[in-house]
Amino acid sequence: MTNHFFRSVIFAVGMVGCACAAAPRMNVLFIVADDLRTSLGCYGDTQVKSPNIDRIAAKGVRFERAYCQYPVCNASRSSFLTGLRPDHTGIFSNESVLRLEKPDLVTLPQLYKQNGYFTASIGKITHAGVDAAGKPMLFNDPKAYTEFSNGVITKLGKTGEGRNLTGGKLAWCQWLSANGTDEDQPDGQNAATAIKLIEDHKVAPFFIGMGFHKPHDPFFAPKKYFDLYPLEGIQLAKEPADRSAELPLAIPNENAFKSFTDQERKEFRRAYFAGISFTDAQIGKLLDTLDRLKLWDNTIVVMMGDHGYHLGEHGWWNKVTIFELCARTPLIVWAPGMKGMGKDAKGIVEFVDIYPTLTDLCGLTPPEPQDGKSFRKLLDDPALPGKTAAFTQVTRGKNMGRSIRTDRWRYTEWAEGQLGIELYDHSNDPLEYHNLATHPEHKALMTSLSKQLHDIQSH
């Protein structure tokens, strides 16, 4: 009887051990939309139709205040794919190539690959830069990805109604209400490829990066998405009459935008919104796949933009600023087993925190050093406070602009304050039109914020 008892205990312990060993590792579906600002229904935008992104936002944790570290595609991606700030990656433009500049850095998908995951980059996750002729290179990184794929626009998908909004002065500033289906555009093809890879690797751990090109320029999308936005219904940005004068470096100098009429302004916004809805539809196909394959219980989903964008605010129609509109971006996370799913997190997080958070959730050890901190606790309790501040920077020629965003304030220095200082009170001025930097009552506050900027720079 005693021997039978011990054999039973050993058998039970063995079964527990086998169960633990056989427990599936978490998959990761990592979705990045290029140039996507918070113009989404789930972020309170009443113009834009984004039912599928709203759907994952209702299921996961929607971060109200998530901030990129650099408002340009390559620099932002190089930062969040390494968990390092731009000062540490050394990437400050779209021309540099992270893998060439810092070959020994272990990127997020690379770490998953090293730990036995199937890894794939579909579309644009890693930004590769441009070649000597100025032509964009492929977005592949063999060290990080087992498989790479990127669609191409079809002949039919290049036809339709559209025009260049600057008369050709800016080649990128064009829209096309395109003929054909979703699959005549790269993002439609890429979504289909991602679905096939999820199906093929559903029984093994995967890290699939799905990088949508839209709403990035050129603003091409199938006609049905333009039809969602009648031109007469497009609302334009309005600036207060008593706004402060813009600092010289706050907005890049681009004369082509200064000649925009309301017609161009409405067409630009309409085309950008069409790109959002096009991307949203492709995201819906991915979510439907997780439903169909019953993968929600073992798949982490991240949905984000790489940085924000201006649509006429401050007279600007692009990225590359460190105003709230460019620094703040959508971030939504579904993490199985976390108690905060279905809630909003209002605490501050930064994109450098994504790497350590995902590795924390998956039981992987990130390389050292890391500039970010895991926000796993916010996925369990979104009511907890986030970081005390987020930091974003951008270059203007040889000059650097650095900005800190706290719960209430945004403070910005250009060339360490020598070329201008900005201070905005978000309790009264969410679009940052009233610069309070010259107000003497804020001197002590500005001294404190400046010290925080310099401290983060020296670390």
Mind telling me the catalytic residues?
A: 73, 127
- Residue identified by tokens 């995951």 is 117
Contact 417, 246 (CB under 8 A): no
Alpha-carbon Rg of the chain, whole angstroms?
Answer: 23
- Residue type for position 209: G
Query: Which among 148, 93, 98, 90 has a CA at the least distance from the CA of 124?
Result: 148
* Nearest-5° Cα angle at 330, 290 to 448: 145
* Bridge partners for 409 per DSSP: 425
CA 376 – CA 228 distance, rounded (Å): 37
DSSP secondary structure, 222-290, as one string: EHHHHTTS-GGGPPPP---TTPPPPPTTTS---HHHHT--HHHHHHHHHHHHHHHHHHHHHHHHHHHHH
CA 28 – CA 418 distance, rounded (Å): 44
- What are the b/e assignments for 131-147, b being 16+ CB within 10 Å? eeeeeeeebbbeebbbe
* Residues in the chain, overall count: 459
Contact 220, 163 (CB under 8 A): no
